[in-house]
Structure formats: structure tokens, C-alpha cells
Structure 1
């Protein structure tokens, strides 16, 4: 009986303690709650006016991260408020959060789709982020031909210029000058248009010597003018004087570039003639298409037929090759990437296949210097190897080079230096740290006849060094000197080129 009473008493005491503990914690929590509210008081607000005032105070102090954090804390309460969404979008943009900024702009527009000032502010934001198509769509609704808003007229003028629509760009500039005759805001764009549409003459004097031995002196002249995105013609003339064969060759080409903005497509078409003065005339030309797939990716495909002037034998008659090619280019803030394929076709039914890729860093800036580092790979293989021997067993590629299973791994290095506004210097190095080729060896067939007996693996070290000096005497005249020293498996060569470029 006493034990039962004792157990009952202990159970009652236990339950009483639990209840007291619960009530104590409940009381403590109720005491702490106002303290938490006080702690949050600086970050929350109950009215739109208070919210706007504090957010604008942060913006005035250029404390954009604090403004964004403050608006984020209070956003749920004002998520359907036009002014808050609009301000939040601007703050996010200032804080470089473009994705969220665009979302808030869209939210604000969903609340007030007919608000012109909001739409134009959104267009301003899109213009800064490079979303030109959307900008055009908005401006077409709110900026008419008789508009007096110089900011957005200039925006339209720039967009037209970027698209290659020079006439429309000039029309917008004329409208701005009509409203504000003394304004300077169109000065930069006008200068760019003048520079683009001016007639130009580019001349090049080239001297080449190599270990075959083949020497030549060539003169090149190009005359061109940009009229519109569909009319960008260029006329080119080249003459070559070769030795030791004392041959001459002339190449005449005319080309035009077309730009289709809606398709993000550029088309290049060239047609011309090539004549070795010892032979009849042959036609040359090419057609290529460059398609912008995304912001970072473009595709280039095409066909060309050009002269071959790389060996002593090829300078003695009209030798041409046809190329079918394709390449893809990718770029971002850190690097440039290229991968391509090329197939060459010759009249003797021979083909040469080439596959290559390279990767290059974006320029690394240090004071007046820019540095780039990279790597390249190339594989080339000919169907037929055109290598012949004389009676002494000395071999030569005739009439053009035909590598067999050639592979080259190279390191790339580029440095640019601009000591003054008018002078720029550039140096390039392409060093093949691993290169192999299947090289032919001779087989004595008869007493007077030697043929290819087979192939063996050969290693070599290809190197190409290039130096460039560019000096701008004025906006209308600049000179450029380029020197190249190259060593391949087939020969060593040196080339120096003087370019004189005139804007008329």
C-alpha cells in the first residue's frame, strides 16, 4: 500500500516537473520573441515609402549589395508592387546580377505592360547586356520617326551600324542633329561610319626565299569600299616573279561580302583568274559561309579553288587545287578554341586530308603588353605521295608537297606591345615540340631508275617565328612590316612583307 502511494506520488511529481519545464520554456520564448523582432527591425519595413527610402539611401551611397539584400528581405511583402519590382531590377543590375535583374524587369512589366518609361528602362538594360533583338522590338513600339529622345535614337543608330545598315544609322544620326544641332553624342559613331565606308587601297610588297631553292618577289594591291551589308566589294591584283625558273604569274580577283542579320550569317564570294605566263588562263574562286550559332560559337564552311605556288615545279605551269573545308570556333572570357577539317583535290585525282585544332588563351594584360599562350595539333595525309628521285638518288616533291601521316603538336606564344598610340609591335612563336612523318626511302629499280621503296618514321622540329611592326602615320595611312622565319620538314623559308594601307 505504501509502495503504491509512493509510486503514485513520484509519477505525479514527474508530470508536474514536465509541465513546469514546458511552461518555463514557453514563457522564455515569449520573452525572446520581441527581442528577435527588434533585431530584425533594421531589415524589415511595413510601408512602401519606408522601403523605397532606405533602398535609395543604400543606392546613393553606392552600397548596391546592401540594397539588394534589403530588398530581398522585404520582397515577399511587396512582390506585386510595380515600383518595388522596378527598383529591385535596377539594383540587381547595378549589383551585376543580370539574370535576376531581367526577371524582376519582366515581373514589373507583367504588372504594368503599357508603362512606356518602364519598357524603355528595360530596353536600356537589355542594350547594356547585348540583347539587341529584344531592344529593337521594344524601341520599334515606343520610338517613332519623329521622336525627340536622343538617347534611344542613338541606340537605334548604333544597332543599325552594328547590323551593317549604314543608311538607317545615318538617318537616325541626322534626326538627332536636327533636334540638337550642337550635340557631340553622335561624333564617335559618325567617325566609325566614315572609317568603315571610306574607299581604301592596300598594297603589299613581298619577298620570299627558301631552301628548295625558290625565290620570288610579289606585289599585291587591293581596292575596296563598304557600301552596305549586301555590297562590300573588293578588287585584288597580285603579280609574282619567280627564280630560278624565271617564271611569272598573275592573279586577279573580285569579291563581295553579304551579311544576313536575321540569319546571323555572313557569306563571302570570290571569283577571278590565274595565269602563269607560260600557260593558259584558269579560273579561281571561293564561296564560304560563317554562321553564328550562339554567342560563343560560330561555324565556317566553304569551297575554294586557288593556285599552288609552293614548289619550283608548281611555278612552271598553271597548277590549282580545290578545297572543301569546315571549322568551328568557340570563345569565352578565358580562351579561344578552333577545330577544323580540310580536303584538297587535285587534277591528277590526288587528295590531301588535313585535321587540326588549336586552343589559345585570351590576352593576358600587363601594362602595355598582351600575352597569349596556346597549343595546336595538326594531322595531314596524302592519298598519293608525289616524291621522285633523280639518277643520283636525290629526291624532291613534285609538283607539290604530299606529306604522309604527318602529325605536329605545337606550343603557341603571342606577345603584343603598344609603346605609343601609333606604334604596335607583335611577336609570334609556333614551336613543334613533337612532330612525326612517314618519309619515303629510295629503291633502285634499274641502273637508271629509282622509285619509292617504302616509308619509315621520321621525327622533326617545325618552328615558325613571326615579327610584326605596325605604325599609324594618320587616320588615313599606316604601314606594316611582317617578317617570318619558318622551318618545316620540307624546307626552310624566310618571308618579308611591307604593307602600305591608304584610306581615300
Structure 2
């Protein structure tokens, strides 16, 4: 009897001890969860770290990994997920959790493996299919992206995210034809009118060709000059790396009637994360901004390297270096950066403000006297300023600009959007050239070039109205005003685009 009583007491002790431990385990995890929801991530991390030293619980591991992600301790979070996969290989939801985090961090190859493994046990899961659709869309594998979306829409035909991505893919990859006209007038004075036609087609990530034709008619000093430019190119999307290659080649024909000149471009973009990308490229193209350059062909080689920021289309920025090279071996170096941050972010109204910096300098200044020296000797007093112009292209001299930026977007309706961007130089100066007629003691005349550190206020103002006329037809009207050191210019354009969109969900 005594032994039976002792056995009963021992069994009850073991039962209640185990029950109390279960309660303690549950209470610890739930308490840590409540701390995480209160955004006390450090305390949640401490609790879960202490708990996991003597316990291996899948719920604790999943919560701990998520807490560490919120704390931006991504390496520790990944380590917890790896431990969870080893300890609980049959709990496939860990693969979804881990894959989601890697997707957020733009670690797409491993995210793809985990999400595909998860779908092997839950092929109808909307989230995993949508994440994989995004990944394949970004790397240019449109067929696989659409297959994933089709699976979601088969089981969830009204899933808004899947429908939105499907629409975006259709619009982005549809063959299109775009035509337009533009006009510009500046105070050199130079007037230019142009026509453009462009067509493109996304066939696959290896073949995304486009062709473009531009014609220009320029008027200056009582004469008209015509030129034509035709280009063809292809864009390639390389694997999971977020690498995009873009190549173009073309011919430029000038009014002088000489042989057409070759143009070409190569560019590469590498996505480092969801918000940051690197880009670099070089292009040989016609320079057509001065009166001289529309009379005779002037070609430039423009090379650049940049780091770009685009965080959910809210935080935007760029830092870049550009090098312009000309056939006379002169070079212009430009370094610039700008940043826009959101101030107002409503559905129908967005406002961003920011700052920009620009520094430009040429190896050799091209500012030249408007009249030959013999004429100036007969008409100009020694020591007087001489009129000049940039021949054949503009060259900045230690030009430094600090600007304030503003960008607004108004969504009047589903089909009508207006955007406006403004830049005002609050501190700007450059060494502006001045020509002086000079005569030395030997009665030899010459034109001396001096530089004056000149302050000025550059302004750049651009507006665009986009109207979606129908599902396939859209239009854009643009107006821009720029007051720069070299000139003041007004310019406008109008374009019409037709997209051959296929709505078939196959």
C-alpha cells in the first residue's frame, strides 16, 4: 500500500512537472512574440536565445529568425533558418519563411531553390508562386513567370497581386510602336524640330530588339539644316544575377551630304539589391546643341558609370561620373549626385524633395571669337571685349552647382497622370571665358582669353502629362524650360504609343 502511494505520487509529480514545463515553454515563446509585436526586438532576441540553449522548438526558431530579420541581423537570421531546416526537415513552411527573407534581400538563386522545394509539397500556395513569378520576371524569364501566375489564378482567380503582375508583364513585354514630334528654341538663337518613330518587341530574355528613327530640322542664322539618325538594338537579361546588357548600333546622316557616320552604344546594369544597382556604358552619338554642330557633324563618345537608388519608387538617387570625348581629343569630365526623399506619399499625390550636386570641367575651352582677327583689328579698340561663341561644342570651366530639387506626381484618375520636376541652383559658379583684343609692344595683335568666376542661378523645370487613351493606346505631352550658363531653352514634345497587348492567360 505504501509502495502504491509512492508510485502514484511520483507519477503525478512527473505529469505535473511536464505539464508545467509545457506551459513554461508556451509562455516563453508567446511572451517573446508579444515583445516582438511591441517592437522590443532586443528583448525578444534575448528571450529566444536563452530559451534555445536548452530547447529545440520549431515555433521558437521561426519566431527568432523573423525577429532577427526585423533587427536587420540577416546573417544570424539565416543561421537560425539553416538550423531549423536541419532539425525539422519535414516542416516545409520553414522553406517558405526562409525563401521569403532571401527574396527580400535579393538573394534570388537560393530563394528560388527554397521556394521551388516548398511548392513540391504545396503547389497551390499563392505567396510562393508570386515570389517566384517576380524572380523570373526580373531575370527576363517571362514564360516561367507567367506559368507561376497562371497557377495562382487557377486556384485564386481574383488574387489582386497576381492580376497586377500579369498586367504589368503584358504591358512591359508587348510589342509596341511609338511616334512623336518635338520642338526646341533657345537664345543662341537656334530652333529645332524633330520627328521620331520607335518600335520594340520582347521575345525572350535573350532577344528584345528595338529600332528607332529620328529626323531633325534645325534653323539658325537664316539657314535650314537637316539630319537623320537610325538605330537598332537588343537587350539581354542574364540569369539570376540581375545583369542586363544593352547594345545599339546605327547611322547618322548630316546635312553636309558626306558619308553616314557610325553610332553605337553598349551598357550594363547589375542589380545589387532590391533598391541599389550599378550601371556603366559608353555611346558614340551626334552632338547637336550648338549652331556650329548643326552646320557640320560633331560626334562625341559619352562614357559613364553610376550607382543608382530606387527604394520602392520612394527614395530615389544617383551618383555618377561621365566622360565626354571628342574627335579633337578634348575631354569633358562631369561628376554629379542627386537624392530625392518622399515628403507626401498619397495614392493620388506624391511629393519628393532633395538635393543635387554637379561639377564639370573641360581639358580645353572652345570659346572662340565670332570674327576673324583681321576684322577685329579694324573694328575693335585694343583692350575691349570681343564677342565669341562655343565652336563646335560647349565646354564648362570648373562649373560647380548645388541645387534644391522637387518632384511632384498627381494621379488625376486611373488613366491620367501629371508629373513635374524642378531644380534650382542655390549656389552655382563657373569660370566663364572672356575674350580681349590685345596688342603687344611689337604691335602684334592677339586675342587673349581670360576667365571670370561668375555666379549664376541655373533653373531646370520639366512637366509631363500622361494619358491612357485606351487599353493599348497612350500619349505623353512634355514641356521643359532650362536656364543654364550656356543658354536658355524652351522645348516640348508629344508622343503616341500603341502596345499590341495580348490578354490571353496562356
Which category describes the TM-score, using the shorter chain as reference length?
Answer: 0.7 to 0.9
Between stretches 440-449 and 487-496, larger displacement belongs to 440-449
- Equivalent-residue separation in structure 2 for 1:70 and 1:220 (angstroms): 60
Contact 2:190 2:218 in 1 (8 A): yes
Which position in structure 2 is the counterpart of 1:168?
144
Task: Report the Cα offset of residue 251 of structure 1.
Answer: 0.5
Which position in structure 1 is the counterpart of 2:322?
342
What is the aligned counterpart of 1:123 among 82, 99, 103? 99
Which position in structure 2 is the counterpart of 1:470?
466
Task: Report the Cα offset of residue 180 of structure 1.
Answer: 4.0
Unaligned segments of structure 2, at least 5 residues? 1-18, 380-385, 501-506
SS at match of 2:189: coil
- Aligned ranges 1:186-205 → 2 under 5 Å: 186-205=162-181
- Equivalent-residue separation in structure 1 for 2:353 and 2:40 (angstroms): 39
What is the aligned counterpart of 2:208 among 232, 237, 250? 232
Larger Rg: 1
What is the aligned counterpart of 2:87 among 106, 111, 117? 111
Between stretches 433-442 and 282-291, larger displacement belongs to 433-442
Over 3 Å counting, the alpha-carbon distance change for 1:285 and 1:78 in structure 2 is: closer
Is 1:83 paired with 2:83? Answer: no
What is the aligned counterpart of 1:381 among 338, 345, 362? 362
SS at match of 2:94: helix
SS at match of 1:246: strand
Over 3 Å counting, the alpha-carbon distance change for 1:445 and 1:401 in structure 2 is: farther
Over 3 Å counting, the alpha-carbon distance change for 1:76 and 1:398 in structure 2 is: closer
- Equivalent-residue separation in structure 2 for 1:395 and 1:149 (angstroms): 70
SS at match of 1:227: coil
What is the aligned counterpart of 2:447 among 451, 458, 478? 451
Over 3 Å counting, the alpha-carbon distance change for 1:71 and 1:373 in structure 2 is: closer
TM-score with structure 2 length normalisation?
0.79
Is 1:422 paired with 2:415? Answer: yes
Task: Report the Cα offset of residue 332 of structure 1.
Answer: 6.0
Alpha-carbon RMSD across the aligned residues, in angstroms, is 3.5
Over 3 Å counting, the alpha-carbon distance change for 1:62 and 1:193 in structure 2 is: farther
Contact 2:320 2:337 in 1 (8 A): no
Which position in structure 2 is the counterpart of 1:498?
494
Contact 2:32 2:44 in 1 (8 A): no
Which position in structure 2 is the counterpart of 1:64?
37
Task: Report the Cα offset of residue 419 of structure 1.
Answer: 3.1
Is 1:410 paired with 2:403? Answer: yes
What is the aligned counterpart of 1:441 among 412, 427, 435? 435
Over 3 Å counting, the alpha-carbon distance change for 1:197 and 1:95 in structure 2 is: closer
- Equivalent-residue separation in structure 2 for 1:159 and 1:109 (angstroms): 23
- Equivalent-residue separation in structure 1 for 2:212 and 2:49 (angstroms): 63
SS at match of 2:413: coil
- Equivalent-residue separation in structure 1 for 2:48 and 2:407 (angstroms): 52
Contact 1:415 1:427 in 2 (8 A): yes
Contact 2:65 2:78 in 1 (8 A): no
Contact 2:216 2:226 in 1 (8 A): yes
Contact 2:289 2:393 in 1 (8 A): yes
Task: Report the Cα offset of residue 314 of structure 1.
Answer: 1.1
- Equivalent-residue separation in structure 1 for 2:350 and 2:130 (angstroms): 34
Task: Report the Cα offset of residue 176 of structure 1.
Answer: 5.4
Which position in structure 2 is the counterpart of 1:242?
218
Which position in structure 2 is the counterpart of 1:33?
none
Contact 1:216 1:241 in 2 (8 A): yes
Bigger relative contact order, structure 1 or 2 (CA pairs below 8 A, ≥6 apart): 2
Which position in structure 1 is the counterpart of 2:287?
308
Spell out, residue by residue over 1:463-483, the C-alpha distance to the aligned partner (whole angstroms, 9 max, x if none).
222222222223322222211
Contact 1:219 1:238 in 2 (8 A): yes
- Equivalent-residue separation in structure 2 for 1:322 and 1:47 (angstroms): 73
Between stretches 236-245 and 110-119, larger displacement belongs to 110-119
**Aligned residue pairs: how many?**
457
TM-score with structure 1 length normalisation?
0.79
Spell out, residue by residue over 1:71-121, the C-alpha distance to the aligned partner (whole angstroms, 9 max, x if none).
954763554323343453477389777746555433322322354343344
Task: Report the Cα offset of residue 192 of structure 1.
Answer: 2.4
Task: Report the Cα offset of residue 495 of structure 1.
Answer: 0.5
Spell out, residue by residue over 1:24-73, the C-alpha distance to the aligned partner (whole angstroms, 9 max, x if none).
xxxxxxxxxxxxxxxxxxxxx942355337856997x9983499868954
Task: Report the Cα offset of residue 128 of structure 1.
Answer: 5.5
- Equivalent-residue separation in structure 2 for 1:344 and 1:91 (angstroms): 49
- Equivalent-residue separation in structure 2 for 1:78 and 1:405 (angstroms): 61
Contact 2:464 2:477 in 1 (8 A): yes
- Equivalent-residue separation in structure 1 for 2:106 and 2:388 (angstroms): 58
Contact 2:480 2:490 in 1 (8 A): yes
Over 3 Å counting, the alpha-carbon distance change for 1:150 and 1:376 in structure 2 is: closer
Over 3 Å counting, the alpha-carbon distance change for 1:366 and 1:387 in structure 2 is: same
SS at match of 2:224: coil
